[in-house]
């Protein structure tokens, strides 16, 4: 009696392969590939196969932002205690976890974004989809905060809270890119102080938090 063992065929995840190899290329060359044709050839792919997964290098960069965001959410939502957090604590938890995910990609992010840190409001187009997903997450936090009266419901102002939280997140990102402190301790402090300021502004009293944050920014120059 003979037995035959069927060979297991593992299907390659070309979407993930292309994304990872793009990051490797940026890390090794300090810039994006010159063309989709050459990049695909180096991966032993036909150019049309590349377009099965991505329409451009910008779409890969967009996917990387989404990947970091989704992994951040996965981690915080896996914690049972996260459900019990206040709105302020949830945003703090998100930012601290997000920074930990950014650290895994710091060299890649520095290669592409270290020259884009002049304006807090400057946003590369590949981060647009990430912004949309983040603002959905921020809106949920804001709604919870209003229900618990942690966040004040102010006419014409409340509807801008999600955009304010986005600007804060982008500020944290740019601050982190330039942070040379051990273990990025200044970034941790900037997160805590800026979030406290933001929630005090969205809440009732803000003066003490504003003065504390202003002092921190002045001393960090």
pLDDT tens digits, 56-112: 999 999 999 999 999 999 999 999 999 999 999 999 999 999 999 999 999 999 999
CB 176 within 8 A of CB 116: no
Give me 100's structure tokens. Answer: 């930990």
Q: How many CB atoms lie within 10 A of CB 221?
A: 4
Alpha helices, DSSP H, located in the chain: 14-29, 36-42, 47-53, 57-77, 87-103, 106-113, 128-147, 161-177, 185-202, 207-219
CB 184 within 8 A of CB 99: yes
| Residue-wise pLDDT tens digits, 132-189 | 999 999 999 999 999 998 998 888 888 999 999 999 999 999 999 999 999 999 999 9
Cα distance between residue 88 and residue 196, in whole Å: 8
Kindly report the pTM of this predicted structure: 0.87
Helices (H) and strands (E) in the chain, counts: 10, 0
């Amino acid at each position: 009696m003979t037995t035959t063992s069927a060979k297991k065929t593992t299907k390659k995840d070309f979407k993930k392969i292309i994304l990872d190899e793009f990051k490797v290329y940026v890390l090794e060359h300090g810039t994006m590939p010159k063309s989709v044709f050459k990049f695909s050839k180096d991966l032993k792919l036909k150019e049309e196969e590349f377009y099965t997964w991505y329409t451009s290098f910008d779409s890969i960069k967009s996917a990387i932002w989404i990947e970091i965001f989704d992994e951040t959410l996965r981690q915080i939502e896996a914690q049972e205690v996260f459900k019990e957090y206040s709105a302020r604590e949830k945003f703090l938890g998100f930012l601290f976890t997000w920074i930990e995910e950014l650290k895994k990609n710091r060299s890649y992010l520095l290669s592409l974004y270290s020259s884009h840190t002049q304006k807090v409001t400057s946003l590369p187009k590949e981060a647009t989809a990430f912004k949309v997903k983040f603002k959905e997450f921020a809106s949920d936090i804001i709604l919870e905060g209003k229900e618990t009266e942690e966040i004040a419901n102010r006419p014409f102002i409340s509807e801008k809270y999600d955009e304010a939280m986005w600007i804060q997140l982008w500020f944290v990102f740019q601050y982190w890119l330039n942070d040379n402190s051990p273990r990025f301790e200044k970034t941790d402090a900037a997160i805590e102080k800026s979030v406290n300021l933001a929630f005090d502004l969205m809440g009732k009293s803000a003066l003490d938090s504003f003065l504390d944050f202003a002092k921190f920014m002045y001393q960090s120059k």
